[in-house]
Structures are given as C-alpha cells and as structure tokens.
C-alpha cells in the first residue's frame, strides 16, 4: 500500500476549501452587485417615470393656462382690433409722420396730427372754390393773381390739393393758370415739398417741373415752425405789389394762427394769434399786402369770448419768460375798417349734439355766414370775401374721445378753458 502523507492531504484539503470559499465569496459579491444594480436601475426607472409624470403635468398645466389666457386675451384683442378699426388715427399719424421726413421732430411735425381730418376736409372743400375765384379774376377781370400761403400745418394740405387740381387741369389742356397768371408765394417749407410731390405733370420724369408757378420766399429758416421768416421775407412780401406795378394784379392771402379770436367791435373779423421769432411779422405782411385775406382754422382753435391777454394768463405765458415755451401769444394788428372788411374766416361747423355746436352758431351770427354759394363766392368783387363754415362731423361718438379730438392739447381739455369756445 501507498503511504499517504498526512500533511499533504491537509494542505490539499485546505487549498480546496480555500478555492471553494473564494468561489462562494465571488459568487456572493456578484449576486450583491447584481442586486445593487437592479435596485439602482429600479430607482432610475422610478426617477424617470416621476420626471415624465411631472413633465406631463407641467405640459397639461401650460395647456390649461394657454386655454385660460386665450379665453381672456381674445375678448381684449377683439376689443383692441375693433377700437383700431373704428379709430384709424394711429395709422394716419404714422403715415403722415413718414411723409414729413425731416420735419417730424419739429413743432410742425408734432402738430401735424392735430385736427388732421378737419384740415384735410377744409382743403378739399375750399381749394376748388378758391381756384374758381382765381380763374374768374384772371379770365374775366384780366388780373394776374398772387396766392400767398402762410406757414403752418393748417395750410399744409392745401399744397397737395393745389398740385392735384392744377395737374388734372394740365392733363386736359386747361392751362388758364399757366405763364405766371397764377403764382403761389409761400414761406411754408413742408408745403413746398408737398407741392413738388403732387404738382408735377410728369412725375415719372425727374426733370419735370411744377404745373403751377410757385415762389419760395427768401429769409431765415425757423426750424420750430418749419418756415422761412426774417427781414428778407417781410421785404419780399411787401415788394410783390411794387414789383408788378405795370399790370393789374390781385393778391389773396391764406393765413392761420396758433389760435384765432373774433374782433369784439363791429365790423367783426377773425384775428390770428401767433408767436415765434419773425412768425407774426410774416403773417402781418401777408395781411397788409393782400386785397383779400382768408383766415383758415379748425373750429377748435377759434375763441368765442377770450381776449389774447386772458388766454396768455390762463396758459401761464409771460413775455418776461426766458423759456420760449412760455412766451406770450401776440396778435395781428387789424384796426381799420377797410382792413377788417377784406378778412374772412374759413372753418367748419358742428351739428347740434357736439361740444362745439354753440360756437358754430355764434360764428354764423357774428360773421354773417350764409349758405355756401360757390358761384357767388367766385364772382364776388375783389376785397369783399365771405366767411364760410363747412359742415364737419367726422368725430368720435364717445364724448371723452370727441373732447380729445377737438382739444388735442391735454391741458386745454379743462372745463374752464373750454368755456372760451362758448357763446359769451
């Protein structure tokens, strides 16, 4: 028999047990790792599922909020759209400012939106009547007519109408105004630009001149009013008559003002108020040199009962003020009856239910305004102009909005100021 070494047996046995123990330990570790990995996977799955549920909940909440906001916003949007459609002044303001170009940031640009529809209405109605009168003076009375047009936004639409009317006549060969028989003379810088845009017979030709003769007065630019003023301007105005002394002429002036008051003594006439260096003097010369004068104004700028001093005091204006915004309004000098009789008002009227209805009635009585007769207006003797009030009611029906349109300056919407426009 083979002899077995007990020590060897023990060593082998221990080795086997060691290997088994190592295998069991490794197996246990692998089992534990799989368990931990499974738990981590389960936790990760739970986290993903929770985040997915939270994301879905947020999405559902956002959808609910979107629906709620939509339900809230739609009526507001519909109301806003309806308001913008009903009152398109915002669009007209933007378009008008775009047309004004470099004049946008001046007082002219700021005020261009005030009474805009009313100013357009007056120009649309009065320019054809005015041209008919000029034609009568040229063809029947044998006169050369000078049409003097003041600066300001009120007269700005007149330039486009004059351009359109004369171009239309040119196109059909009706050239009664040509060869210097009708001459526009002005210090209104934006107005001349508008005439150049609308008064060319052949706008496709860059070299096309104007259908209507137009002279821009010399002088010093007054940026705030987009006008030309100064000694040269005044001298040029006053020389119109002397420079044409060898022929019969008629001078018709269109003037306006920051405000208009009615002369308190008989005979009555409109008297413009204005301020700004050289501004009033140019207007005064327009009046002095003319055979007849038409004061053009929106109704909401005509005082029924206020004198210049009262207006300045109410507005807090003082001639001693350094601030140009606080300088007082001055007024044209109209003292002689022969001056008064050559001055007429061209404005608008309101129906009975409007804020300025009583002012319309007052002006009709004070200035003897009658029903419009275009034939009589055209053929009346030179120097005897008639005042005209064109019906105008393109105004909001809401009283507060109507007040905003009639009195575009916020500080003039107070009741005590509006009383100046009431029948005294």
Taking only the tens place, the pLDDT of each residue in 54-82 is: 777 777 887 777 777 667 666 766 776 67
β-bridge pairing 270-274 and 259-262: antiparallel
Looking at the domain assignment, is residue 68 inside a domain?
no
66 occurs within a structural domain? no
Question: Vertex 363, ends 360 and 369: CA angle to 5°?
Answer: 100
Any domain includes 399: yes
For the record, the structure tokens of 377 come out as 């207006």
Overall number of domains in the chain: 1
Tokens of 94: 């933007």
Q: Please check the confidence at residue 108 and state whether its pLDDT lies above 80.
A: no
pLDDT over 70 at 112, yes or no: no
Look up residue 420 and give its two tokens. 């100046």
Q: What is the pLDDT of residues 184-216, one digit of tens each?
A: 999 999 999 999 999 999 988 889 999 999 999
Instruction: With respect to residue 328, please indicate whether it lies within any of the assigned structural domains.
Output: yes
Q: What is the pTM of this model?
A: 0.75
pLDDT band at 380 (very low <50, low <70, confident <90, very high): very high
Average predicted confidence (pLDDT) for the chain:
86
Give the pLDDT score at 46.
76
Residue in 373, 108, 98 with CA at minimum distance from that of residue 256: 108
Residue 33 counted as domain residue: no
Average pLDDT value for residue range 351-370: 94
DSSP letter for 224, please.
G
Is residue 42 situated within a structural domain? Answer: no
- In this model, does residue 93 exceed pLDDT 80? no
Decide if 290 contacts 255 (C-beta within 8 A): no
What is the model's pLDDT at position 36?
A: 80
- Domain range holding 200? 107-421
- Minimal CA–CA distance to 258: which of 111, 125, 391, 361? 111
In a domain? residue 30 = no
Percent of the chain with pLDDT over 70: 87
Residues in the chain: 424
Q: Which of 183, 254, 200, 190 has the alpha carbon at shortest distance from 226?
A: 190
Residue 267 has pLDDT above 60, yes or no: yes
Q: Find the mean pLDDT for residues 267-282.
A: 89
271's CB contacts (< 8 A; 6+ apart) are 260, 261, 262, 263, 295, 331, 332, 334
pLDDT at 321: 72
Query: Can you say whether the dihedral through the CA atoms of 376, 379, 385, 390 is positive or negative?
Result: positive
Give the confidence band of 1 by pLDDT, cuts at 50, 70, 90: very low
pLDDT band at 423 (very low <50, low <70, confident <90, very high): low
Would 259 be classed as within a structural domain?
A: yes
């Amino acid at each position: 028999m083979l002899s077995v070494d007990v020590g060897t047996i023990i060593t082998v046995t221990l080795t086997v047990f060691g290997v088994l123990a190592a295998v069991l330990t490794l197996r246990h570790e692998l089992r534990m790792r799989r368990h931990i990995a499974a738990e981590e996977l389960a936790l990760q799955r739970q986290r993903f599922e929770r985040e997915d549920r939270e994301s879905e909940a947020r999405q559902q909440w956002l959808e609910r909020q979107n629906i709620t906001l939509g339900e809230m916003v739609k009526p507001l949007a519909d109301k806003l759209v309806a308001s913008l459609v009903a009152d398109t002044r915002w669009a007209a303001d933007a378009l008008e400012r775009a047309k004004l170009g470099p004049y946008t940031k001046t007082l002219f640009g700021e005020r261009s939106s005030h009474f805009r529809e009313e100013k357009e209405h007056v120009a649309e109605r009065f320019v054809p009547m005015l041209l008919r009168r000029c034609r009568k003076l040229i063809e029947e009375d044998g006169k050369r007519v000078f049409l003097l047009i003041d600066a300001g936004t009120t007269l700005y639409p007149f330039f486009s109408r004059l351009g359109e009317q004369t171009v239309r006549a040119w196109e059909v060969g009706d050239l009664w105004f040509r060869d210097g028989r009708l001459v526009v003379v002005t210090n209104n810088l934006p107005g001349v630009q508008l005439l150049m845009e609308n008064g060319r017979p052949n706008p496709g030709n860059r070299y096309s001149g104007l259908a209507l003769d137009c002279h821009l007065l010399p002088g010093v630019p007054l940026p705030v009013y987009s006008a030309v003023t100064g000694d040269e301007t005044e001298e040029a105005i006053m020389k119109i008559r002397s420079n044409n002394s060898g022929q019969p002429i008629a001078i018709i002036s269109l003037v306006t003002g920051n405000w208009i008051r009615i002369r308190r003594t008989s005979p009555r006439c409109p008297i413009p108020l204005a301020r700004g260096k050289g501004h009033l003097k140019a207007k005064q010369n327009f009046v002095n040199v003319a055979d007849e004068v038409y004061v053009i104004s929106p109704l909401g700028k005509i005082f029924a009962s206020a004198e210049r001093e009262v207006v300045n005091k109410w507005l807090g204006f003082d001639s001693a003020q350094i601030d140009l915004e606080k300088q007082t309004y001055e007024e044209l000098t109209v003292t002689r009856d022969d001056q008064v009789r050559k001055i007429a008002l061209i404005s608008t009227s309101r129906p009975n239910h409007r804020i300025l209805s009583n002012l319309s009635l007052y002006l009709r009585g004070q200035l003897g305004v009658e029903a419009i007769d275009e034939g009589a207006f055209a053929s009346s003797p030179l120097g005897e102009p008639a005042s005209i009030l064109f019906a105008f009611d393109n105004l909001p029906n809401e009283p507060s909005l109507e007040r905003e349109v009639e009195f575009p300056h916020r500080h003039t919407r107070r009741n005590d100021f509006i009383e100046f426009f009431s029948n005294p």
